A and B are shown apart, each in its own frame.
Chain A
């Protein structure tokens, strides 16, 4: 049970990394992390809104690797506004989270969209540096802005 809790915590951290801005200070605490399947972790807003879900991280598999690395497969991360409306959904078939350097990376695809689906970005290969909040999508970056997502930017 304790091991499961650890892997859940680590998965949440990795997911938060992919989410870029959910919790910049989060570091995986994964000493003693073990393999986990079909994990889900829920984070709530702070004391002023304890009942409201802030994010849900799920994955099909989490595999600890030597050197403080953690492979997460079928990552799916959802965040919510304080009023409960969906904010962002991030998915990646697989990513490698380096707990030592605080980076998450993958040669595979990354897909991100807003809760209403009107803004979507995807690409192949990505690196997230947690220390300076820097995201690089390496190739074939595709951004789609659906009608209605465009705000009136005119003065």
Chain B
């Protein structure tokens, strides 16, 4: 039971923390994001994880599966999907593999208070430490094409990979990248009556990469 509780706590907390960080990197890929020390933050409101249907906890197989309109409600992030699978690490450990599947929607607020909206068919979180180097990735894939949208615009690619190696992080848009920028009147397009101007950027299939450093 101790193992069970620690596992579930670790799983979800890890997902919360890292999903927030991932999304920040995606929304502002060229910026440096520094999280303030936890001691300076006000107490967090509870995180809630609900599913309409079943939740399976396989303690021998070290895996948990939530099914049916899975909702993760965190003060800084909301995630919904049809199914969420996570490994169950040993007590004191942390999950190495979390998969959210089908109609994955992640809404989060970054450090600047800007809301972001990410969608994909599948989101996979991986974590490992090799030779003292921490590697984390969150990969958005599937159909419809994964995308991240905020007030500045929308970025999309066949595959969106956020990764972090120790303090360095970067986001890659792989395959059929396109960006739609929203620009306020007067910023670029003078004389337009449109409330916003849409600037579309299409890039041939390949990889678009942005790197941020000194991530915490």
Point out residues on A near B: beta carbons under 8 Å.
19-22, 79, 81, 87-88, 90, 112, 114, 119, 121, 123, 132-155
Contacts and interface: CB of A to CB of B under 8 A. Distances in A.
B1 A135 contact: no
Nearest to B129: A155
B184 interface: no
B40 interface: no
Q: Chain A: interface secondary structure?
A: strand
B14 A153 contact: yes
B16 interface: yes
A117 to B, nearest CB: 11
- Among B9, B43, B216, the most chain A Cβ lie within 10 Å of the Cβ of B9
Main secondary structure of the interface of B (DSSP, over half): mixed
A151 B53 contact: no
B188 interface: no
B52 interface: yes
Interface of B: 1-5, 8-10, 12-14, 16-18, 38, 43-60, 66, 94, 129, 134, 136, 166, 216
12 contacts: A20-B4, A87-B5, A132-B58, A134-B56, A135-B57, A137-B54, A137-B55, A137-B57, A141-B50, A147-B46, A154-B216, A155-B136
A148 B39 CA distance: 12
B59 A21 contact: yes
A79 B5 CA distance: 12
A21 B3 contact: yes
Contact of A119 (B9, B51, B129, B216): B9
B8 A121 contact: yes
A64 B13 CA distance: 42
A153 to B, nearest CB: 4
A136 B56 CA distance: 5
Contacts of A149: 9, 13
B9 A155 contact: no
A139 B5 CA distance: 19
A136 B1 contact: no
B38 A152 contact: yes
A154 B66 CA distance: 24
A144 B1 contact: no
A138 B54 contact: yes
B8 A150 contact: no
Contacts of B3: 21
A21 B2 contact: yes
Contact of A153 (B1, B8, B10, B56): B10
Closest 9 CB pairs of A and B: A155-B134, A133-B59, A143-B49, A141-B55, A150-B13, A153-B14, A145-B47, A135-B57, A147-B44
B57 A134 contact: yes
A112 B13 CA distance: 18
A88 B5 contact: yes
Given A152-B38, A153-B13, A143 B5 contact: no
B55 A134 contact: no
A10 to B, nearest CB: 20
B54 A144 contact: no
Contacts of A22: 1
A134 B64 CA distance: 10
A54 to B, nearest CB: 11
A21 B58 CA distance: 11
B46 A139 contact: no
Contacts of A153: 10, 13-14, 17-18, 94
